Structure 1
Amino acid sequence: MRVPRIYHPEPLQAGSEVALCEDAANHVGRVLRMGPGQAVELFDGTNLTFSAEIIHADKKSVRVKVTESRADSRESPLHLHLGQVMSRGEKMEFTIQKAVELGVNVITPLFSERCGVKLDAERLAKKIQQWQKIVIAACEQCGRNSVPEVRNAMTLETWCAEQDSGLKLNLHPRAEHSINTLPLPVERVRLLIGPEGGLSADEISMTTGYGFTDILLGPRVLRTETTALTAITALQVRFGDLG
C-alpha cells in the first residue's frame, strides 16, 4: 500500500511524538484502518516532509512517532494568486482542488455583479473552512508540502484595489493579448477569473483602472472552471514549472 501523506497543522520535528488532528486520525484509523507499526508521511506546510510510524491507533485517536525529516519543495517559481468569482456547488470545489494541483499559492473567493452564489456570513465562513480542507486534501494527494491559503471572500473591487507588485491579468474573450505574448520574466501573477455570466462592462473597465491586463485564451468560450484551470496551466507552462 502506498504510504499515506497526512497534513499536520502544527510544526513537526524528528524524534517527537504527536497526536494527529481529528480529520487525519479519522482518515488513518477509520477509513484506512491502519495500526501500530505502519508508516505514514507527514507535512506541516514548511516544505519539509516527515517520515513517521504509528504507535497507537483506535477509533478516536492516532499517535505517531516522527522518525526523520527532509526538505522536499514542489513549489513553482511562479507565485500565483487566483481571484475566483464564486461559482455554484461543486464547480467551486473542483476549481480549488485542481488549482492547488497546478500550483496556485493563494485563492481569494470573490463576489461580483453576476455572481450566482448568495450566502450569509455564517454559511460563507463554513464554506471557507470547507474549501481550505479541500486545499489540504489536494496537497496530500499531489505531493505539495506548502499549503495554499483560501482567504476570506471579498468584493471584486476590494480585491482588485489591493496592492500587488505582480502582473495582473483578467481573462476576456475579446482581448488583444494572449499569455504567450506576455513579456518574460514574470515571477508573480494575480489572475482574475469571472463568474459564469462573465464580468459586466463596468467591472471590466474597473479592472483596467486598477492595472489589469486583458488576455485571451483562445477562440472558444470556456466555462468559468475550465477558464481558471486552462489559464493557470498556460501560465505555469510559460513562467512556471510545467512542460
Structure 2
Amino acid sequence: MPRFFVDHALSVDNAFNLPEGPARHVQVLRMQPGETITLFNGEGGEYEARITLMGKRDVAVIVIGYTPEDRESPLRTILIQAVSAAERMDYTIQKATELGVTKIWPVHGAYSQQRLSGERAQKRLAHWQGVAQSACEQSGRTRIPQILPVTTLADALAAAPKDATRLLLAPGAATRLAALPAPQTQVVLLVGPEGGLSDGEENAARAVGFEAVVLGPRILRTETAGPAVLAVLQALFGDG
C-alpha cells in the first residue's frame, strides 16, 4: 500500500485534501476512488485512508483506521555531520534516516568545502527535511528525524547533550566500536568533512568528552562514514 507523510492532523473519520506532493504522487500511480493509502504525520502510528475523489488537481481522502505502529529504534542517536556537497549530504541524510537516527546536526568544519548561510542555508535545510521525510516514507518510520539549522562545529560541541555517549570518528583511533559499553542514554556521533577534522577540532571535541573511535582499517568517505557507524551502533545497542 502506498505510504505518504502529511503535515496534517490525522484522526479516524477525518476527511481532507492531500497536500500537493502526496496528491501528485497518487495521481502518478493512477489510483482511483475507493483505493486505500497509508498516511503518517510524524507523531507516531499510521493511518489508513480511502481515496474519495480524484480531481485534476485535488485528491480527497477520508481516514478509516489507525494502527499504533512503532518502528523507531530504542537507541537515540544524534549525528553531527560536517556539510558535504549536495548529493553527498543528501545520501548521508537519507541513509541515516533509514538507520533510525533521531537528530541530524549539519555543521561547518575547518576543511568543509561547502559553506551555507542566509537564504541558501534555509533552502538547503528545507530540502534536507524533504529528503528525510521521503526516507521515512520508504523505510516505514513513523517519526521524522529533526534536522537542525547549519551551525559551527564549536556551537554544536558546546550544545551536545552532556549525558550522552559522545563519539568522534577518527582514523587511527585505538578504540573500536565493538569495544564500547552500552550507552546509558543516547549517542552523539561526530563525522568530519571530506578533508577530515583539523587537529584543533579533534582536540576541542576530546576536551568536551568525545571519545575517538575507529570503524576499521579503511578510511571512509564523509557521506559513508556516518551511516556506516550508525548501522554498527544499531546492531550493537539498538535494533540488533
Q: TM-score range by the shorter chain?
A: over 0.9
Secondary structure of residue in 2 paired with 1:83: strand
- Please give the per-residue CA displacement for 1:108-153, whole angstroms capped at 9, x wherever unaligned: 1110111110233111111110110011110100100111111111
Asked whether the 8 Å contact 1:26–1:59 carries over to 2, the reply is no
Equivalent of 1:17 in 15, 39, 57: 15
| Structure 1 position 158 matched with structure 2 position 155 | yes
Q: Quote the residue 1:215 is aligned against.
A: 213
Secondary structure at the residue paired with 1:234? Answer: helix
The secondary structure found in structure 1 opposite 2:96 is helix
Deviant stretches of 4+, over 2 Å: 184-187
8 Å contact from structure 1 (residues 114, 198) kept in 2: yes
1:27 is matched with 25
Determine the structure 1 residue equivalent to 2:44: 47
Match of 1:229 among 202, 227, 230: 227
Tell me the amino acid that sits aligned with residue 172 of structure 2: R
Instruction: Give me the whole-angstrom Cα distance separating, in 2, the residues matched to 1:132 and 1:59.
Output: 28
| In 2: Cα distance, 1:145 partner to 1:87 partner | 27
Q: Among 62, 65, 77, which residue is 1:68 paired with?
A: 65
Letter in 1 for 2:169: L
Q: Distance in 2 between matches of 1:218 and 1:135?
A: 28
Aligned-pair distance for 1:185? Answer: 4.3
Residues 165 and 183, structure 2, Cα contact 8 Å, conserved in 1: no
* CA distance in 2 between partners of 1:59 and 1:128 (Å): 31
Q: CA deviation at 1:12?
A: 0.5
User: What is the rounded CA distance, in whole Å, between the counterparts of 2:160 and 2:196 in structure 1?
Assistant: 24
CA distance in 2 between partners of 1:111 and 1:120 (Å): 10
Question: 127, 137, 140: which is aligned to 1:130?
Answer: 127
TM-score by length of 1: 0.95
TM-score normalised according to structure 2 size = 0.96
Deviation string, structure 1 residues 170-207 (Cα, Å, up to 9, x no partner): 10012111111111244300111100100000000000
Instruction: Identify the residue that residue 107 of structure 1 maps to in structure 2.
Output: 104
1:24-55: per-residue Cα shift (whole Å, max 9, x none)? 111112x2222211110011112211111001
Counterpart amino acid of 1:235? Answer: L
3-state SS of 2:209 partner = coil
**Which stretch of structure 1 is more off in the superposition, 52-61 or 126-135?**
52-61
Residues 39-75 of structure 1: CA deviation (Å, up to 9, x unaligned): 1001111221111100112232211000000100001
Q: SS where residue 81 of structure 1 aligns? A: strand
Counterpart of 1:168 in structure 2 is 166
- What RMSD, in angstroms, separates the aligned Cα atoms of the two structures? 1.1
* Secondary structure in structure 2 of the residue aligned to 1:15: coil
Q: Which runs of 5+ in 1 are unaligned?
A: none
SS at match of 1:72: coil
Change (3 A) 1:85 1:185: closer
Equivalent pair of 1:186/1:239 in contact (CA under 8 Å): no
CA contact (8 A) 1:37 1:53 kept: yes
Correspondent of 2:86 among 79, 89, 101: 89
